[in-house]
Structure 1
């Protein structure tokens, strides 16, 4: 009897790791919370205190070795609202795919290559001072026009080619009803067969230098009479490290915005940070020009901040940001996260925020 029990225990111990390997699941996430004072600079509204869950998320991912250098890969990532109960499921990059010597092919929901380029240089990404408050944004609706995470997408990511990585994504038709964080929804009653889009990028990283270039195009509709827009954007980024000093820049040219179909806009930004031990000093400067044909429709954003790294995974931060809107622009703080103040910012207003944050990655 004792020998049988011992044999059973040994068999269980041997088989358990094999089972774990075939059902490999990693749990990861970011909890990023800020307490911020936001001033809309609109009417008689007072400065208000906001508790913002700045793109906090939790994810599950895994891989299975299929042999011959081929693996099946998958990921399910969801937004987490630290300041609210509940929350949607699988709202972020969620896909199934294959990975091998040819690169990776993903099917599902994923950030576009053009969006991912901007994230490589932004010092205040995933905060109320995110560069998406201006870059790629629509000053009329406040929504992001280009920094998207569309559904119904196939993505190709090349292997690293001596520092060069290529990426391409195609988003298929979305039918009559759209979804949040996707290309603009098709208009009910219109011909939706040509509702698609694509995004491509190339980035090169070698030592202290990083360069990237991307192009994205959307085919969409503006009303039920099938009037079409071919909306597009070019975006270029650059980064350079000098010891503990990092510099970054982005330039973009957007054409055919959904709200102002015939108009184009330029935007650019400069980013710098300097590490002093556990302390990192950061600053961003962003600007978007006028829509063609719409005078005084541009804006600027100034952001300064400091991070203190409590550990490799936990960081406390302090930041201040202000947007300076021209007379016919209404860009707002926090719109990139959907956490702007409760008041709609009036054209020409100068909203600002002062915040204290805590971020933990696992």
Structure 2
């Protein structure tokens, strides 16, 4: 039984009993890597990591004779390294409508700001992921926004705008702890160029505190070469702890490139730098890698990444989007070598 028929059977039994079935499919990703990680101090160990592996169900159905379409998605993380699943529907899970007017959806999913790193995201969900520098402590912006309503415009000569509003952070909206947030982006893609500009902000009543950030990412293709650039500036506010405020208010910027060496082999390199307001709080990360795609569904890769920490920073190139997570050491370089395989279905 192919995956679409299986998904329809699941939908018939669980999701839509007694109702005509929509076009429903199962999809997912198995992404594993073998990593040798060194924090520059006492930790130098071999790890097996599951890297944002997932299982999802999605579907859509036309409504009437017009262009209006209803759609949904349910997605959860699967830990292939330990043979277990995380919280059901904990990843991008939503329902909505789309048509000539654009798209409206509600649920929990990646914010427009998070998705805006896309053009420059050469090592997503791998050792050396840029989120190791952009997603630090409570000054975090690469998040899924819960209880969110989002509108995205249709494509307008290459431009597309997205606005997301997170109504409240917890399960219920409590008057004195609203926890709301707003995220918006403007994307442009035309020919060889692709770029996004985004803003995101949260009030002081949010669980991770008051903060806002602006992000820009761009990519330009020159034949078999692709050049990428990234910039993010973020402000974290904590009147009661000015030291923490300086540690979490930071700028991140970087450049990278990709070379298509053969029809199925890609060489990549990226340099990123994070500079916080606090003294001696600068971090640089360099990542190089090679990826070979055996077919559209399966790829293998090898990456090397190193983070160079200043006196008051202890970041690593491996803690984000992966099940392997260990702390770094202040004023010590943290490095890793990764052999990975990814199967999309």
TM bin (shorter chain): 0.7 to 0.9
CA distance in 2 between partners of 1:85 and 1:308 (Å): 26
Q: Note the residue ranges of structure 2 that are not aligned, 5 or more in a row.
A: 1-17
Change over 3 Å in CA distance of 1:257–1:80 after alignment to 2: farther
Change over 3 Å in CA distance of 1:349–1:307 after alignment to 2: same
Cα drift, residue 230 of structure 1: 3.6
Higher strand share: 2
Change over 3 Å in CA distance of 1:207–1:248 after alignment to 2: same
Does structure 1 residue 231 correspond to structure 2 residue 211? Answer: yes
> SS where residue 347 of structure 1 aligns?
coil
CA distance in 2 between partners of 1:175 and 1:25 (Å): 30
Change over 3 Å in CA distance of 1:288–1:65 after alignment to 2: same
**Which residue pairs with 1:245 in the alignment?**
225
Change over 3 Å in CA distance of 1:154–1:72 after alignment to 2: same
Cα drift, residue 152 of structure 1: 0.6
Change over 3 Å in CA distance of 1:175–1:305 after alignment to 2: closer
In the TM superposition, 1:173-184 aligns within 5 A as: 173-175=168-170
**Which residue pairs with 1:53 in the alignment?**
50
Cα drift, residue 94 of structure 1: 0.4
**Which residue pairs with 2:343 in the alignment?**
360
> SS where residue 332 of structure 2 aligns?
coil
> SS where residue 335 of structure 1 aligns?
coil
TM-score w.r.t. the length of structure 2 is 0.87
> SS where residue 23 of structure 2 aligns?
coil
**Which residue pairs with 1:276 in the alignment?**
261
**Which residue pairs with 1:163 in the alignment?**
158
Change over 3 Å in CA distance of 1:210–1:21 after alignment to 2: farther
CA distance in 2 between partners of 1:151 and 1:320 (Å): 34
User: Residue deviations 1:151-205, cap 9 Å, x none?
Assistant: 1111111111111011110001224899xxxxxxx9xxx9213x21000000100
> SS where residue 117 of structure 2 aligns?
helix
CA distance in 1 between partners of 2:145 and 2:188 (Å): 25
Larger C-alpha radius of gyration, 1 or 2?
1
> SS where residue 169 of structure 2 aligns?
coil
The question of whether the paired residues in 1 share the 8 Å contact of 2:49 and 2:322 is answered with no
Change over 3 Å in CA distance of 1:203–1:82 after alignment to 2: same
CA distance in 2 between partners of 1:308 and 1:327 (Å): 38
The question of whether the paired residues in 1 share the 8 Å contact of 2:126 and 2:322 is answered with no
**Which residue pairs with 2:61 in the alignment?**
64
User: Residue deviations 1:6-57, cap 9 Å, x none?
Assistant: xxxxxxxxxxxxx998421011111111001001112x33x10110111111
Does structure 1 residue 318 correspond to structure 2 residue 302? Answer: yes
**Which residue pairs with 1:151 in the alignment?**
146
User: Residue deviations 1:50-106, cap 9 Å, x none?
Assistant: 101111111110001112211111001111111112212111110010111111111
CA distance in 2 between partners of 1:341 and 1:39 (Å): 12
The question of whether the paired residues in 2 share the 8 Å contact of 1:239 and 1:247 is answered with yes
2:251 to 266, 285, 289: 266
CA distance in 2 between partners of 1:280 and 1:215 (Å): 31
**Which residue pairs with 2:132 in the alignment?**
133
In the TM superposition, 1:104-143 aligns within 5 A as: 104-135=103-134, 137-138=135-136, 141=137
Q: Note the residue ranges of structure 1 that are not aligned, 5 or more in a row.
A: 1-18, 179-185
CA RMSD of aligned residues (A): 2.4
Does structure 1 residue 288 correspond to structure 2 residue 287? Answer: no
CA distance in 1 between partners of 2:49 and 2:82 (Å): 10
CA distance in 2 between partners of 1:221 and 1:340 (Å): 31
CA distance in 2 between partners of 1:40 and 1:119 (Å): 28
User: Residue deviations 1:104-128, cap 9 Å, x none?
Assistant: 1111011011110112321100112
> SS where residue 110 of structure 2 aligns?
coil
CA distance in 1 between partners of 2:321 and 2:339 (Å): 16
